[in-house]
A and B are shown apart, each in its own frame.
Chain A
Amino acid sequence: QKEVEQNSGPLSVPEGAIASLNCTYSDRGSQSFFWYRQYSGKSPELIMFIYSNGDKEDGRFTAQLNKASQYVSLLIRDSQPSDSATYLCAVPHSGGYQKVTFGTGTKLQVIP
């Protein structure tokens, strides 16, 4: 099992719809979870992070965490063409140092 797994996509949604991006992880000790966005030809940038079970909302973005199921998701409401990018899930190791493992990313396409 990979440490962090994501569906590579592409995930296509119409403009205005909700995009749901999923990530599973294997390190049960992980405490924090990150979502990065990477536009084509650009470097990844942090868009959301979550520590606690449940939901965390920031504008049109909602991160959801279920530690028992080792599952974290990102919902994008009212998807816009500008949201078209690859979304990377990242999970720091629980081993007491700053190693972070990235998933392979899900490519999102928002169709106008």
Chain B
Amino acid sequence: GAGVSQSPSNKVTEKGKDVELRCDPISGHTALYWYRQSLGQGLEFLIYFQGNSAPDKSGLPSDRFSAERTGGSVSTLTIQRTQQEDSAVYLCASSQPAFSGFAPPDTQYFGPGTRLTVL
């Protein structure tokens, strides 16, 4: 079946502009995660959704960052007034609380990421 998709794959923007990044999780996956990964660095957790609610927003780096999820499916990460330090790959992942073939519950399936460059 279809995996996690993200769009756009690449985004170049000017400092101060707003950007929206989209994530389409695997159908039926109840949990959705956003991470940020700067060049050569580890995964930085941003936010986690269970259904449409976000029980954990602790990783959002500032109030310029926000995210929503509608219909228990698609999620949008919005960065307002982008700064150069926002440049990174933004990864989305989804999971479900049940076994699926080989994979145990909570296995995260990652999308290909959006590479954001702020000039």
Interface residues of A (CB under 8 A from B): 8, 32, 34, 36, 43-46, 49, 51, 88, 90, 92, 97-105
Contact = CB atoms under 8 A, between A and B. Distances in A.
A43 B113 contact: yes
Nearest to B111: A43
Contacts of A44: 43, 91, 108, 110
Contacts of A49: 103-104, 107
A103 B39 CA distance: 16
B97 A45 contact: no
Interface of B: 30-31, 33, 35, 41-43, 45, 48, 50, 55-56, 91, 95, 97, 103-108, 110-113
Nearest to A105: B42
A86 B82 CA distance: 29
4 A-B pairs with the lowest CB-CB distances in the bound complex, closest first: A104-B42, A43-B110, A98-B31, A92-B106
A48 to B, nearest CB: 11
Contacts of A103: 42
A45 B102 CA distance: 13
Nearest to B32: A98
B107 A34 contact: yes
B47 to A, nearest CB: 11
Nearest to B41: A104
